[in-house]
Homo-oligomer: A and B are copies of this chain.
Amino acid sequence: MTEEPQYPTSIGTSTRDTISLLGHDVAGDLLGNVTFGELAFWLVAKRRPTPGEGRVFEAVLVSLADHGFTPTAIAARLTYYSAPDSIQGAIAAGLLGGGSRFLGVTEDTGRYLHEIVAGLPAEASGWGDDEWNVVAVEALERAKAEGRRVPGLGHPVHKDGDPRTPVIIRIATEAGTRGPHLSLFEAIGRMQREVLGKNLPLNGAGVGGAALADLGLPVEMLRGFALLARTAGLVGHINEERLNPVGPAIYASVDRNAVYVPPTDEQSREGE
């Protein structure tokens, strides 16, 4: 028999008399002194946000919390309708749609910008619009040549501009957290029409990703923050579904318009 391994963590521990979180006494230091949003930042960054950072972080979470009847909200509502005893299952079902297509823009934009920013010289922090425009044009042209989409551009509904975009930039500027990721993303916003030949304004999910990356949060975790924000929206949707359900009508509408189509030869041979 072997001795048990040890499991290191910097998050939480407790003794008979104390609960410690991130090296602080939960009861004495944290409760009432830190907002939930600030704690969420702290749990990942492993340092307390400054008031300005906290303000930007909360604003981005608020901007991502809900977008109405998205596929993920519908999936959560249908799951609640099928299994009302298990709210955790309905929330989990909603979060599981948080992948590349719908909830991934925040992370994708943060990662994309971070890759470029990481290769810039130290003096980039002092650059003005002209220098950033040059970097943006290079990045846009590279993406165009490779046939790759630049994440965070365009929105299916807000075709003339996402109303969240200027507000998040303003909050970050006021809070003093506007850094290279937002500077580059704004430059991309200025230059995209010229390079790409159609107008694809910066969307709010992308700006949120840029703003979070400027806070020094790891870009690998940006999807995690988007999922946290969306959890609040899902709890709201599930509560509505409890009081005033739409799941049964959605199900009935789909079921009544189902049309049986015999499998084609192509389908049954597909993969051969």
* Chain A residues close to B by CB (< 8 Å): 1-23, 25-28, 30-32, 34-37, 39-40, 43-47, 55, 58-59, 61-63, 65-72, 74-75, 78-79, 81-93, 95-103, 114, 157-160, 162-164, 166-168, 171, 204, 213, 216-221, 223-225, 227-229, 231-233, 235-240, 242-244, 246-247, 249-263, 267-272
> A156 vs B135: C-alpha distance in the bound complex, in angstroms?
46
B88 with A98: CB separation less than 8 A? yes
A90's partner among B15, B16, B96 (CB-CB below 8 A) is B96
> A2 vs B194: C-alpha distance in the bound complex, in angstroms?
38
> A164 vs B26: C-alpha distance in the bound complex, in angstroms?
7
Query: What's the minimum C-beta distance from A182 to chain B, rounded to whole angstroms?
Result: 14
A240 with B67: CB separation less than 8 A? no
A71's partner among B5, B6, B79 (CB-CB below 8 A) is B79
A79's partner among B93, B171, B221 (CB-CB below 8 A) is B93
Query: What's the minimum C-beta distance from A92 to chain B, rounded to whole angstroms?
Result: 4
- Contact A102-B83, Cβ < 8 Å, known A78-B74, A246-B8: yes
- Contact A89-B96, Cβ < 8 Å, known A23-B262, A269-B216: yes
A10-B262, A19-B164, A89-B96 are known; give 20 further A-B pairs, CB within 8 A. A9-B260, A10-B263, A11-B233, A12-B66, A15-B157, A16-B159, A36-B58, A39-B62, A39-B232, A43-B235, A69-B255, A74-B254, A88-B95, A88-B98, A88-B103, A93-B96, A93-B97, A221-B235, A221-B239, A253-B253
B10 with A260: CB separation less than 8 A? yes
Query: What's the minimum C-beta distance from A246 to chain B, rounded to whole angstroms?
Result: 4
